């Protein structure tokens, strides 16, 4: 009987381990810091050189602009045809200049748009059309990256604290095995207007800016914990 008791005491104490796989969202409210607008200039002329000459008036101004950032610029020129009775008739050329202008200062964007409208008005031609669209507050890349960095750090610190709490309450060693973080900018872009077509419009029309509304930036990490 005594030998049996000794053998029983030598048997290992069996325990079990398990994994916890779950996700949790972390968010912060951010005020967009960048006001941007899309610019679209279209010019139709019989002569290709005249199209280029009018486009150059806008280009000269854009090249000298230093108070706003000009991005995603493109310029195309192509022939235009009318079709009648199955016949193709050449009517001239169409030049299109497109880009995005942005600044952290609403006054600078309004001044920039005023100058564009002034150039359009000085040309005094219905063949030149200026469209300003999607004037909106947006989150700059720098602000977005900083916000995501802050949220990543917050989520990592939280899971470390949570694993320590579980370890104490369960009398086990709980460790973080894996973290996957998905990022999401869930803000609603607020527009001052969907489009402003300026074929014959006063400069006063440009002195408009949308309300700067808050946006949510969120990370959705998935955590894998092992407790044993």
Closest listed residue to residue 215, CA positions, set 72, 70, 28, 76: 28
How high is the pLDDT of residue 193?
39
Given a cut of 50, the residues of the chain with pLDDT beneath it are: 1-13, 187-205
Q: Is 142 exposed, middle or buried (0-12, 13-18, 19+ CB in 10 A)?
A: exposed
Fold classification of 35-138+189-205 (topology level): Alpha-Beta Plaits (3.30.70)
pLDDT at 196: 43
In the chain, how many H helices and how many E strands?
4, 9
For residue 101, which of 189, 36, 194 has the smallest C-alpha distance?
36
Question: Can you give the pLDDT at residue 96?
Answer: 95
Residue 183 has what pLDDT? 74
User: 205 near 196, Cβ under 8 Å?
Assistant: yes
Q: How many CA atoms, within 13 angstroms, populate the side-chain half-sphere of residue 181?
A: 15
Q: Provide the strand spans (E) within 139-194.
A: 174-185
- Torsion sign over Cα 42, 201, 112, 60: positive
**Alpha-carbon gap, residue 108 to 76, rounded angstroms:** 27
pLDDT at 201: 44
User: What pLDDT does 217 receive?
Assistant: 92
Q: In Å, how far are 41, 54, 84, 128 from 50, measured between CA atoms?
A: 14, 6, 26, 11
User: Which residues, 6 or more positions from 90, have their beta carbon under 8 angstroms from its beta carbon?
Assistant: 79, 80, 81
Nearest of 187, 191, 192, 189 to residue 206 by alpha carbon: 192
pLDDT score for 127: 92
pLDDT at 207: 56
Residue-level pLDDT at 15: 62
Residue spans per domain, the chain = 35-138+189-205
- Residue-level pLDDT at 84: 84
Main-chain phi, psi angles of 163, to 5 degrees:
-65, -35
Question: Considering only CA atoms, which of 118, 108, 96 is closest in space to residue 37?
Answer: 108
């Amino acid at each position: 009987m005594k030998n049996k008791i000794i053998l029983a005491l030598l048997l290992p104490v069996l325990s079990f381990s398990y994994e916890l796989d779950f996700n949790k969202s972390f968010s912060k409210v951010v005020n967009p810091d960048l006001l941007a607008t899309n610019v679209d200039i279209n010019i139709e002329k019989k002569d290709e050189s005249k199209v280029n000459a009018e486009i150059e008036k806008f280009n000269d101004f854009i090249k000298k602009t230093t108070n706003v950032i000009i991005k995603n610029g493109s310029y195309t020129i192509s022939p235009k045809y009318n079709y009648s009775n199955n016949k193709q008739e050449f009517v001239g050329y169409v030049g299109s200049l497109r880009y995005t202008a942005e600044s952290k200062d609403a006054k600078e964007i309004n001044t920039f748009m005023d100058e564009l409208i002034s150039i359009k008005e000085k040309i005094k031609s219905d063949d030149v059309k200026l469209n300003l669209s999607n004037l909106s507050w947006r989150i700059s890349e720098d602000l977005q990256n900083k916000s995501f960095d802050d949220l990543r750090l917050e989520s990592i610190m939280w899971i470390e604290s949570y694993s320590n709490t579980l370890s104490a309450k369960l009398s086990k060693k709980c460790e973080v095995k894996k973290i996957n973080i998905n990022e999401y900018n869930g803000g609603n872009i607020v527009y001052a207007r969907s489009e402003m077509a300026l074929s014959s419009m006063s400069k006063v029309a440009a002195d408009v800016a949308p309300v700067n509304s808050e946006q949510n930036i969120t990370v959705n990490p998935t955590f894998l914990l092992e407790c044993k």
